[in-house]
Structure formats: C-alpha cells, structure tokens
C-alpha cells in the first residue's frame, strides 16, 4: 500500500484503496491459515484430573469407571477427540 501511495496511484484513484486492501488481506489469509494449521500441532492433551466435574462424570459413565489418564482434544474446534 505504501508503494501505491508513493507512486500516486491511490491519490488519483482513492476508491481503489479498499478493494486493494481487502484483496491483499484475502490472499494473505488464504495462504497463512492452512500454513499455520500445517506447522503447529492441532491436537492437545489434558490430564483427566484437570477436567470439569460434569465432563469427568460423563467420561466415567462412558468408560465404565475405567477413565483414561489423559484426554485429547482439537485446539482449533474445541471438540473432544478420542484416540
């Protein structure tokens, strides 16, 4: 944007500033989001003892009082994941 402002393009065509900014932002997000998901681990673990009481009860019922030591969840979606 600085380059276009210094050249005088945006001073002549002020209405182009918003579409150009949104286009550059869209292109950056198109590539940055998948890249960040690929580079950083998306699955995290948490000790069973640190879960909320309500969730502990549900898991105790699901596993017949033989609950796992750790639970895994997806960081992005915040949805519990079984492994």
- Whether this model's pTM surpasses 0.85: no
Of residues 13 and 78, more confidently modeled: 13
The whole-number average pLDDT for the span 54-77 is: 83
**Quick one: three-class SS letters along 10-74?**
HHHCHHHHHHHHHHHHHHHHHHHHHHHHHHCCCEEEEEHHHCCHHHHHHHHHHCCCCCCCEEEEE
What are the sequence ranges of the domains in the chain? 2-38, 41-81
pLDDT given for residue 1 in this prediction? 74
The whole-number average pLDDT for the span 34-58 is: 86
């Amino acid at each position: 944007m600085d380059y276009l402002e210094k050249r005088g393009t945006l001073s002549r065509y002020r209405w182009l500033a918003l579409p150009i900014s949104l286009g550059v932002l869209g292109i950056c997000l198109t590539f940055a989001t998948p890249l960040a998901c690929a580079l950083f681990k998306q699955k995290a673990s948490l000790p069973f003892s640190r879960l909320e009481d309500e969730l502990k009860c549900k898991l105790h019922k699901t596993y017949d009082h033989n609950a796992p030591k750790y639970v895994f969840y997806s960081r992005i979606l915040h949805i519990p994941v079984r492994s």
